[in-house]
Structure 1
Amino acid sequence: MSDNSENTTHFGYQTVDKAEKVGKVAEVFHSVAAKYDLMNDLMSMGIHRVWKRHTIACAGARPGNQILDLAGGTGDLTAKFSRIVGEQGKVVLADINDSMLKVGRDKLRDLGIVGNVEYVQANAEALPFADNSFDVVTIAFGLRNVTDKDKALASIYRVLKPGGRLLVLEFSKPTTEGLSKLYDWYSFNLLPTMGKIITNDADSYQYLAESIRMHPDQDTLQSMMEGVGFEEVSYQNLTGGIVALHKGYKF
């Protein structure tokens, strides 16, 4: 591998310096933070809520658990985990983007969720937590925006307790050609148009569509998780593989 390729990565379909990607992703989410929840509902026709509920159900969280909701954005998973872990537990809502964290904090406080939630601005590649800190780590629709996914997965593995588990909910590869073609048409025609109308930002939603296509497919992500030490790694396709839920354990 040449030095050049070692120093570059993809930002959607563009090739950029690795040092630039964090800033470019930050711009996207600063731009869309205020309308993020509304756009999620519109883009997925509300199905993202079903995917997230399923992730919660598969997480096996219990009262007293310590949970990291990584790239947790506006706090959908954190809100549900907060109620499950109770007063003796803790949920850390972590995101690299302070605009998203502020929206999430305001939303959860409006819901009356205080006390067992912490808010931390953090880069997934270098998590600022001690080894063996969490029973469960979730990352929902965030991994594809990380520059070095292997480094992020290794960082997550480090902060999980032995017996802990990671759940990655992420856009993936549709399982049939017909669905794939329909999904492509929707992603590259309707998504940027909706972004333009709702957030006055078509470019960010063009990036999101491209970033989904550049994300590793189901089997590749499974291998990446195994490569940093996760065991009993499995995945479940949701909505025909448009989204997949990966799960792995640290023993």
Structure 2
Amino acid sequence: MFSRSVSRSLRTTAGRRMGVAEPSYRCFSCTRRAYAESTKPNHDERLTHFGFKDVPETQKESMVGAVFSSVASSYDTMNDLMSMGIHRLWKDHFVRSLNPGSALPSRDTDKNGQGWNILDIAGGTGDIAFRMLDHATNINHDLETRVTISDINPDMLAEGKKRSIQTPYYNTNRLSFIEANAQHMPHIPDNSIDLYTVVFGIRNFTDKQAALVEAFRVLKPGGVFACMEFSKVDNALFNTVYKQWSFSAIPMIGQLVAGDRDSYQYLVESIDKFPSQEEFRGMIHKAGFMIPGRGFENLTGGIAAIHKGIKPLK
């Protein structure tokens, strides 16, 4: 069996040969220790949560970055553990519900042939983007729809670029990658995006409301905001079992599988701190979106939920 260090060396060598940036594999535990040893923040500095801990807003971004740099190469394993293995079915359902490549209310009828312009936020590994392009191509026979994958973390983007080599979209104008903060995207013009997606990412944002406002800005009138995120289980007994699994088993398995207990501990805590379905629906509405129907769809008893909002037509 290969050791962890040898396995990383092989991945790095392969990445260099393919022209992909080498991941940094920063140590989350080291970052956590460095933060604990740093100077105490000014009492006037705004705090936010990092899992169950309160941290300065100015430091959360780098701490979350260290987590995802640590888990980038085992991202699918992470989601398998978090969702008890069914995140792949959820993602397929999410994409089908959006039906990329079909006619859009954000587009004049005589322009429908130009395809969709999709922005996939926190989508570094390409999981959702590849599915959307496959759906547009194979189901709606649309060869024009394009996806921009945006992620704040360069290691996650590097993983997505490596995976994209195995797809028909590699090195085409239908797929692009940008490193950006979803809370402030000046490089994305107003009213330019047909569909904005964020899957299992928004709970890690420092200012979720700012990200929602920015999503509203970049979407075209009639454009759709769609988010899938771990959420609140709607059955008390099931919730007890799920939380026991989350807080006891997942960090332990993270240690055994990825050699990284701390990152997985943060991730289960971040799920617990995320707003309820009703609270998050209110945040989407506050950003200016119309809420279709109930506004959210629970998956597997609320382990995850799909939220949607529509930017009003002019």
TM-score (norm 1): 0.95
2:281/2:296 contact within 8 Å kept: yes
Question: Match for residue 83 of structure 2?
Answer: 44
Superposition map of 1:117-196 within 5 A: 117-127=175-185, 128-196=187-255
Q: Which amino acid aligns with 1:49?
A: R
Q: Which amino acid aligns with 2:201?
A: G
Structure 1 or 2, whichever has the larger Rg, is 2
The more displaced of 122-131 and 13-22 is: 122-131
Question: Match for residue 128 of structure 2?
Answer: 77
- Residues 220 and 6 (structure 1), Cα distance of their counterparts in 2 relative to 1, 3 Å cut: farther
- Residues 205 and 93 (structure 1), Cα distance of their counterparts in 2 relative to 1, 3 Å cut: same
Q: 1:97 aligned to 2:153?
A: yes
Q: Which amino acid aligns with 2:250?
A: L
Give, in angstroms, the shift of residue 111 of structure 1: 2.5
Give, in angstroms, the shift of residue 37 of structure 1: 1.5
Deviations 1:108-148 (A, max 9, x none): 11223221101011111012300111111110000100010
Q: 1:204 aligned to 2:255?
A: no
Give, in angstroms, the shift of residue 41 of structure 1: 2.8
C-alpha distance in 2, partners of 1:125/1:6? 19
1:240 to 301, 305, 309: 301
Deviations 1:140-175 (A, max 9, x none): 000100010000000011111111101110011000
Number of residue pairs matched by the alignment: 249
Superposition map of 1:225-236 within 5 A: 225-233=284-292, 234-236=295-297
2:133/2:147 contact within 8 Å kept: yes
Q: 3-state SS of the aligned residue for 2:168? A: coil
Give, in angstroms, the shift of residue 46 of structure 1: 2.8
C-alpha distance in 2, partners of 1:112/1:38? 24
The more displaced of 18-27 and 54-63 is: 54-63
Q: 3-state SS of the aligned residue for 2:133? A: helix
Give, in angstroms, the shift of residue 6 of structure 1: 6.3
Q: 3-state SS of the aligned residue for 1:168? A: strand
1:75/1:104 contact within 8 Å kept: yes
RMSD between aligned residues: 1.5
2:82/2:246 contact within 8 Å kept: no
Q: Which amino acid aligns with 1:188?
A: F
1:37/1:74 contact within 8 Å kept: no
- Where structure 2 has 5 or more consecutive residues not aligned to the other structure, the ranges are 1-41, 103-114
Give, in angstroms, the shift of residue 60 of structure 1: 3.0
Question: Match for residue 65 of structure 1?
Answer: 116
Give, in angstroms, the shift of residue 4 of structure 1: 4.7
Give, in angstroms, the shift of residue 11 of structure 1: 0.1
C-alpha distance in 2, partners of 1:166/1:75? 18
The more displaced of 76-85 and 225-234 is: 76-85
1:39/1:198 contact within 8 Å kept: no
More strand by share: 1
- Where structure 1 has 5 or more consecutive residues not aligned to the other structure, the ranges are none
C-alpha distance in 2, partners of 1:173/1:206? 18
TM-score (norm 2): 0.76
